[in-house]
Amino acid sequence: MLYVLTIPALNDNYVWLIHDGQHAAVVDPGDNAPVCAALQVLNLSLVAILLTHHHADHTGGVRALLAETAVPVFGPANEMIDCVTRHLVEGDVVTLSRLGLSLKVLDVPGHTRGHIAYVAQEQPWLFCGDTLFAGGCGRLFEGTPQQMQASLAKLAVLPDDTLVYCAHEYTLKNLQFALEVEPANAALRDRMAWAQRTRSVGKPTVPSSIVIEKATNPFLRYKEPAIIDRLVAQQKTLSRQPEACFAALRKWKDVFS
């Protein structure tokens, strides 16, 4: 039996600890301290580190973890990250034999040039870093709107029950923007009410799921006529073409407050 433990880190990051009660793999450890604490409390042995991209809030704890235990570090081939021992591209499979876990790799550039995601082969799990968020997507620090659009399309076709383990607690802000974009979406209003209740008691709003994202995330819904109409009405774009609408949506989100 495998479990995924939510570890809050830094300001609003989540580190994901996959474990079977004895062994553990950690995804995007931006800070080693909460990871070490969880390993100690649960009496787990770290067997692998998985990285989605190079940003420090996802990699900052790696060296300290390796100082405690020498384990393989998996990461994107198209980014320069110290300590990575196996460089991955789309189609590669990470096999963690001690956990009985296999993860397929997808290239999902946009947020960064070489960003990757991990899809569990037998569990309905997606570890997507800063590509797909609950209700949103990552900023385009290094990639293009076209790259992010294509990356999200790869994730949107995963099975509906796939759990989306993104790396930040951005949900309320993302849903505020989503409601600005698609105010008549009843599923979105319900999701916002749920998220507000959840955060009011200090609980995380992630993981979400692919089916929830397809119903409420504007960056997966940019082809919807209501969203296109809204973008044109708000003078965010003159074009109704999907590519232009996606780019306009991401640009609008960048300045949304």
Per the annotation, the verdict on 20 as an active-site residue is no
Q: Count Cβ neighbours within 10 Å for each residue of 152-178 and write b for 16 or more, e otherwise.
A: bebbeebeeebbbbbbbbbbebbbebb
Annotated catalytic residue, options 53, 54, 87, 190 = 53
Per the annotation, the verdict on 58 as an active-site residue is yes
Running DSSP on this structure, what letter comes out for residue 241?
A: S
Domains (range + CATH), the chain:
3-255 (3.60.15.10)
Annotated catalytic residue, options 19, 23, 54, 55 = 55
pLDDT at residue 20, rounded to an integer: 97
Among 229, 224, 231, CA closest to 249 = 231
Which residue ranges of the chain lie beneath pLDDT 70?
A: none
Q: State the CB neighbour count (10 A cutoff) for residue 249.
A: 25
E strand or H helix that includes residue 171: helix 171-181
pLDDT at residue 179, rounded to an integer: 98
Per the annotation, the verdict on 19 as an active-site residue is no
Q: State the CB neighbour count (10 A cutoff) for residue 123.
A: 15
Segment 118-149, tens digit of pLDDT:
999 899 999 999 999 999 999 999 999 999 99
Annotated catalytic residue, options 28, 31, 107, 130 = 130
88 residue type, one letter: L
Annotated catalytic residue, options 28, 31, 54, 57 = 57
Per the annotation, the verdict on 111 as an active-site residue is yes
pLDDT at residue 257, rounded to an integer: 74
Annotated catalytic residue, options 23, 58, 107, 115 = 58
Per the annotation, the verdict on 130 as an active-site residue is yes
